[in-house]
Amino acid sequence: MTLITLRGLGFAYGEPLFSNVDFTLSKGERIGLVAANGRGKSTLLRCIAGTLEPTSGDVLRARGLTLGYVEQHLSPALADRTFRQAVCDALSPAEAEAESWRADVLLEVLEVPDTFRTRTLKELSGGWQRAALLARAAVTDPDVLLLDEPTNHLDIARIASLENWLSALPRDTGILVSSHDRAFLDAVTNRTLFLRPDRSEAFSLPYSAARAALDDIDQAMERRFQDDMKTARKLRHQAAKLKNIGINSGSDLLLTKTKQLKQRADELEDASRPAHQERSAGRIRLGNRGSHATVLLTLDNLSVATPDGVPLMKTGLRRIHRGDRIALLGPNGCGKSQLLTRIHTALIAPGTPQPGIKATPSLALGYLDQALSHLPDDASPLSIICDRFDIGDQRARTMLAGAGIAIDRQTKPSGLLSGGQKARLAMLVLHLSTPNFYLLDEPTNHLDIEGQLALESELTTHEATSLFVSHDRAFIRSVATHYWRIEDGRLIESDTADAFFEAALND
């Protein structure tokens, strides 16, 4: 049975993001929604959820259909609600009155620690905020779940439990999920929709198999296009020859034939289309200012606690040497972001010494916080760059365009950027800060696959010293030279992450 039908759906902000999308979501289908950063995945989900009007076409929902929608970002309205309140808010007032136990059951299933249930969402880690958004969508037992990048911010164990939870949902539940996490898409989907500006393509296959099928179609289309163009050139060549002969011999028949050949060439050229060319969502470039110091940062038994003073962990004596790229590992909420925040605070105010943190005077910091809060939503990308860096308006515009932020978006509030575009803006800020030490909190969140690979290669090629938090196994493996693991309130060093990954997945 069909739950949602998209009929000729299109959306444009000036240029079309997608157009003429005809698509159905039926009971039990689990669909992956795939496209590069800024191509309209969140926009399509908003149109389906009914929070945005499409530019053309319709969204038809089965009568009485209930939707659970997990947005890509935490809305400010929820920031001051506690975990439990946020989940209860998703119920109708009558349900919240009589059936708030459903929220409590769900909090148990999600293993939300008691102390977190009464904390406001803004006080929780990114991973727990995401868990709250998922719980809000799930508590209503919806017929369809719309999930916008649900694995962002989740740790490895939580991604695995999200996969298990999705597979354990009633078989009839329909799911439409946008994601850049290939392994996750393969694990949870059975259909894939590739969103494209002119012709979106759908396959009854999970991501990797669908990608291969799409590549085959694109290659066949490109071959046909090249063949058609070759044939059209031949026809025009023949037509030119015949025209000369016709004129010289005064033959009307040959001239008519010439016209026909030209017409066939025109028709071929009009009908055939080049294959879709995937445009890059923008370049990611990072550098490394270099340093003569051998040890850039020393942590001398630093204690890390929550903002309200609950101790989380102690670092012991740790040194970060030039060229080290250290992955900081540990489950959601164990204090990774807090440790990064402490180091950040110490490095931006070198005049006020922080006990337990010592940095070489030549350290130049590049910092990326998990919520990208240093990029205010109401400031435009152009003002963010021009206010911080003395590079002139013209160069700022060129660099923003190179990073994938089109000229017409550069002066609009950066809150309008897609998640991945905002992450790319943050990468440009990092690049322009010319650091020799990178402190990165989940830098691959929101980045599409091409962006993740570019970031990997920039960090490794420039041999940039870095301390980073990530839950992306492929990224961690290819970037890290050392691993710091937070376990039972201690920081443990190791040369491999395998044991950690295994333990996280088997928990």
Q: Which residues bind ligand ATP (CB under 6 A)?
A: 13, 17, 35, 37-43, 72, 409, 416-421, 446, 448
The CA-to-CA distance between both ends of the chain, in Å, stands at 37
With CB under 5 to 8 Å by kind, the binding choice for 39 among ligand ATP, Mg ion, none is ligand ATP
> Cα(25)–Cα(190) distance, rounded to whole angstroms?
12
Nearest to 465 by CA among 315, 319, 300, 321: 321
> Cα(416)–Cα(223) distance, rounded to whole angstroms?
38
Least Å distance between CB 40 and Mg ion? 8
With CB under 5 to 8 Å by kind, the binding choice for 451 among Mg ion, ligand ATP, none is none
Which range binds Mg ion by CB under 5 A, 66-74, 117-125, 136-144, 329-337? 66-74
Interface with Mg ion, residue 414, by CB under 5 A: no
Interface with Mg ion, residue 42, by CB under 5 A: yes
In angstroms and rounded to an integer, the radius of gyration of the C-alpha atoms of the chain is 27
Contact (CB, 8 A) for 281 and 402: no
With CB under 5 to 8 Å by kind, the binding choice for 291 among ligand ATP, Mg ion, none is none
Is residue 403 classed exposed, middle or buried when 0-12, 13-18 and 19+ CB atoms within 10 A define those classes? buried
Nearer to Mg ion (CB atom), residue 288 or residue 421? 421
Least Å distance between CB 149 and ligand ATP? 6
Least Å distance between CB 406 and ligand ATP? 7
Interface with Mg ion, residue 445, by CB under 5 A: no
Alpha carbon 222 to chain centroid distance?
29
Least Å distance between CB 39 and ligand ATP? 4
Nearer to Mg ion (CB atom), residue 281 or residue 464? 281
Nearer to Mg ion (CB atom), residue 152 or residue 436? 152
Residue recorded with tokens 């990165």:
440
Mapped to the 3 state alphabet, what secondary structure does 439-489 carry? EEECCCCCCCHHHHHHHHHHHHHCCCEEEEECCCHHHHHHHCCEEEEEECC
Contact (CB, 8 A) for 320 and 465: yes
In 71-111, DSSP assigns E strands to none
Nearer to ligand ATP (CB atom), residue 191 or residue 409? 409
With CB under 5 to 8 Å by kind, the binding choice for 417 among ligand ATP, Mg ion, none is ligand ATP
Least Å distance between CB 148 and ligand ATP? 7
Entry field: residues in the chain: 507
Residue nearest to ligand ATP (CB): 420
Residue nearest to Mg ion (CB): 42
Interface with Mg ion, residue 151, by CB under 5 A: no
Nearer to Mg ion (CB atom), residue 32 or residue 419? 419
With CB under 5 to 8 Å by kind, the binding choice for 342 among Mg ion, ligand ATP, none is none
Least Å distance between CB 228 and ligand ATP? 32
With CB under 5 to 8 Å by kind, the binding choice for 366 among Mg ion, ligand ATP, none is none
Residue 268 CA: distances (Å) to CA of 44, 129, 199, 230, 242: 34, 54, 20, 10, 19
> Cα(265)–Cα(127) distance, rounded to whole angstroms?
58
Sites of contact with Mg ion (CB under 5 A): 41-42, 72, 418-419
